[in-house]
Amino acid sequence: MKSDRKSKLYVHLLFWILYYILEVYLDFYWSRYQFPGEEWQIRLQNTIVLELGYLLIKMPLAYSLLYVYEKTGVKRLISYIIYGCIIVAAVLVHRFFTHFIIYPHIYGVTETLDGKQPSGLINGLVAFNSFMDLIFMAGLIFGVEITRQKNLLKEQISLLKAEKLDQELTMLKAQINPHFLFNTLNNIYGMALKKADETPDVILQLSKVMRYNIYEATEKYISIDKDIENIKDFLQIQQIRHRDLVIRFNEEMDNPSQKISPLILIQFIENAFKHGVSETLGQSFLHIDMKLNKGVLHYHIENSKQEKPHGNSTKIGLKNIRRQLELLYPKHSLTAESTRDRYTVNLIIDFNDSSCF
């Protein structure tokens, strides 16, 4: 609310300054034909004074009309009547100021129509000129205010959309993490029952992964080297859980500080375990190739899987990830290929694309 009022104050202040300068310029230019004998300094001084007087008439008119416009409780017919009354009153004041103050006291002459015939206070032509002058100003201030309100509304809508996307992303990420946590805890429980020597190592790696998820992953963007470190901790846990698993991890980063949304890359690996490696009978494998070159990330994952004639579990697993990529990186490239015994995913993200942020 305060920012809206501040914005309105600045915009309207700028409008009146520019409008006043425009009116001074136009009246000064016109006065050299109306009073050709006067020195330009006197004409400029007179123009500055009379335009200040006109401003004292136009500003109350403008804000009276805006007040009626913004008061939504007023019916349309009644508002039109009020508009008319305000404008008629402003025209009368404008004419009084022009006829009795401007011409006799500033210009030192009687107001006339053609240099000979006196105009009078109420005359159709001069009253119409006053009306057009006031309506021109009212149209400008209405245009400025309506444009300001529309821009403010766009900003508010953009903020709401951003908040909605952030909430959706948070929910989507939350759908991934519990699955890994519960499975790992179940494995630790089984290892503890067997009194396996690797149990402390798994607990330590799990604590590092959870620390990352609780603290680091709350940021909107983090450096890609931190995300890779979390992936490696995750893989060490999985290597202990799956003794027959063959993991190959290749990385080539020309800019380890490149910003990326946390937990995006690891979800492809989680999906590979959830719907591929964990279901593979016998020896399983997971190959990961990651290359970042000049702001473009190429991410390749290939994992073993058990053939399921009617299964679509991998597609279900990728649905969540696709939605997050659509929200975060609209112009990404993601392809997936499934064969009888393996599943391959290729992801390309161009961080140089401004739409990614």
Q: What CATH code would you report for 197-356?
A: 3.30.565.10
Q: Which of 209, 215, 301, 295 is nearest to 260 (CA)?
A: 295
Q: How many beta carbons lie within 10 A of that of residue 294, not counting itself?
A: 9
Q: What is the pLDDT of residue 97?
A: 87
Amino acid at 95: R
In the chain the first and final C-alpha atoms are separated, in Å, by 28
How far, in Å, are 216, 245, 275 from residue 239 at the CA level? Answer: 23, 6, 16
Q: What is the pLDDT of residue 2?
A: 59
What burial class does residue 195 get, using C-beta atoms within 10 Å of its C-beta: 0-12 exposed, 13-18 middle, 19+ buried? exposed
Phi and psi at residue 312, to the nearest 5°: -140, 30
Residue 278 has pLDDT above 70, yes or no: no
DSSP 110-135: --BSSSSSB--SS-HHHHHHHHHHHH
* Half-sphere exposure at residue 146, Cβ-oriented, CA atoms within 13 angstroms: 8
Q: How far apart are CA 257 and CA 270, in angstroms?
A: 24
pLDDT tier, 289 (very low <50, low <70, confident <90, very high otherwise): very high
pTM: 0.54
How far, in Å, are 26, 52, 76, 138, 145 from residue 19 at the CA level? Answer: 11, 11, 29, 11, 14
Residue 280 has pLDDT above 60, yes or no: no
Residue 287 has pLDDT above 90, yes or no: yes
Mean pLDDT of 45-50: 87
Domain boundaries, the chain: 2-156, 197-356
How far, in Å, are 39, 97, 102, 111 from residue 105 at the CA level? Answer: 17, 10, 6, 11
